[in-house]
Structure 1
Amino acid sequence: MGKPVRTIIVEDDNTLRAIISASLSADPRIEVVASYRNGDAFLQALPALDADVVIMDISMPGTSGVDCVGQAKPLKPAMQFLMSTVFENPTYIFQALCAGATGYLVKSAPGVELADAVCDIHRGGSPMTPAIARMVVTSMHAAVAPAIRHEQLTDREQEVLDGLAAGLMYKEIAAKHGMGLNTVRTHVRGIYEKLQVHSRQDAVRRAFPGGMNAS
């Protein structure tokens, strides 16, 4: 096992913040290095912070989670932001993704799903609660479906790219298409090389030039 994923929690509900911290701390893959009760406290501490993943509540008093990500990402580009919210609203989703968030889960997600999402986002994934992923796909499918095909991609690479765009974890793509996990990773590398990108977000942007909320 490699180094644990250094994780920060930003959540205004004290009880929920404590539950999330305890749940993640019990997972040997994760190290909770700090937690904050609002976005303003997080931003104030940001210059001195060193973490891999930030679990960010989207709706908080003061600076919202979306605004926090928008301010923090340019200062700490290596930090990955996983939004945590009760809202399954496409507007919030798109705002968060445009601000620089990489994943989006509802607060009702089980603790093990949250831990898996933290690890997945650290490995380059973009986890989303299935209902949210469906919203994203539904919102963009009609406008950008003709643009998603890329002549250089194989059929298998195209299937993997579709999964990336839907916010699926690598293991979910593997299960859906009957591939091994390492095979999915190989296809992802091939997609990145052919599309000349270096991240899932860039690959999806290249494949969906009309944007997620195009109409």
Structure 2
Amino acid sequence: MSIAVSLSNEFRNSLEPMTQSPIKIVIYEDNPDLRESLSVLLRGSIGFELIGAFVNCEQVAKQIIELKPDVVLMDIDMPVANGLKGLKIIKQIAPKVNVVMFTVFEDNENIFEAICSGAVGYLLKRTPPFRLLEAIQDAHNGGAPMTSSIARKVLQMLPAQQRITESNDYKLTERETEILNLLVKGNSYKMIADKCGISIDTVRSHIKKIYDKLHVHSQTEAVAKAIHERIV
């Protein structure tokens, strides 16, 4: 993945305004060029604070306890101690830390293990820089950012259910169906708000109602169910 050294003012200004403290981020990535590019991107972006960047997860417990990050951006294939091992350790010692996998692997085995071990997001390294920043923000705000191709694979891991369900069986409104469709396509809350001409708070309100109607508790479950049952 090629990360731009800095974001344009247009990209920076289009991010959701940060009214709270910057999101504290730790990176685990063994590729030195990519690690440096990610570091430059985060240091140069308003609302984000890079507090650590490491080559592997050998000292992950000590680092997480000392640094107390909000979000961890985690590679999988690293020497000595890989990202899946690091993820499991983080969820044991600091379960509230949001771990987003950032990897080239898109096989079911790695996806399944990461999700079952507590990852809140799964992004491929071809993710554009602007989308990566939005994904980190989404994870911090309770979302479950995923590359769209990964979201589709998630449905393969769910128990077999009735595959064809009309959206009106769940009594989704036209707006809720529209927003669910945008979620399935990988749009962030900010992007949905822009496309629908509504505020981010209104998007969150609609998504909460969607969760209630679909009987799910997360964005990952909602997207997987929407695809699996062909709701959108």
TM-score range, shorter-chain basis? 0.7 to 0.9
Secondary structure in 2 matching 1:40: coil
**Distance between the aligned counterparts of 1:58 and 1:131, measured in 2?**
18
Deviation of 1:88 (Å): 1.7
Q: Deviations over 1:174-210 (max 9, x none)?
A: 577x462433211223345667876545xx28x96xx
Q: Is the 8 A contact 2:72 2:97 kept in 1?
A: yes
Normalised TM-score (structure 2): 0.72
Matches within 5 A, 1:95-106: 95-106=113-124
Residues 107, 68 of structure 1: CA spacing in aligned structure 2 closer, same or farther, 3 A cutoff?
same
- Same amino acid, percent of matched pairs: 38
Answering whether residue 208 of structure 2 is matched by residue 189 of structure 1, we say: yes
Residues 196, 75 of structure 1: CA spacing in aligned structure 2 closer, same or farther, 3 A cutoff?
farther
Q: In structure 1, list runs of 5 or more residues that go unmatched.
A: none
Answering whether residue 51 of structure 2 is matched by residue 26 of structure 1, we say: no
**Distance between the aligned counterparts of 1:194 and 1:161, measured in 2?**
12
Matches within 5 A, 1:16-165: 16-137=34-155, 139=156, 143-145=160-162, 154-155=172-173, 156-157=175-176, 160=179
Residues 110, 195 of structure 1: CA spacing in aligned structure 2 closer, same or farther, 3 A cutoff?
closer
Answering whether residue 47 of structure 2 is matched by residue 10 of structure 1, we say: no
Residues 90, 166 of structure 1: CA spacing in aligned structure 2 closer, same or farther, 3 A cutoff?
farther
**Distance between the aligned counterparts of 2:40 and 2:32, measured in 1?**
12
Q: Is the 8 A contact 1:39 1:63 kept in 2?
A: yes
Deviation of 1:7 (Å): 0.5
Read off the aligned partner of 1:93 and give its amino acid letter. Answer: I
Q: Is the 8 A contact 2:144 2:218 kept in 1?
A: no
Residues 170, 141 of structure 1: CA spacing in aligned structure 2 closer, same or farther, 3 A cutoff?
farther
Deviation of 1:36 (Å): 1.1
Q: In structure 2, list runs of 5 or more residues that go unmatched.
A: 1-17
Secondary structure in 2 matching 1:105: strand
Question: Number of residues paired by the alignment?
Answer: 204
Deviation of 1:135 (Å): 2.5
Q: Is the 8 A contact 2:60 2:89 kept in 1?
A: no
Normalised TM-score (structure 1): 0.77
Greater alpha carbon shift after TM alignment, 121-130 vs 52-61: 121-130
Secondary structure in 2 matching 1:33: strand
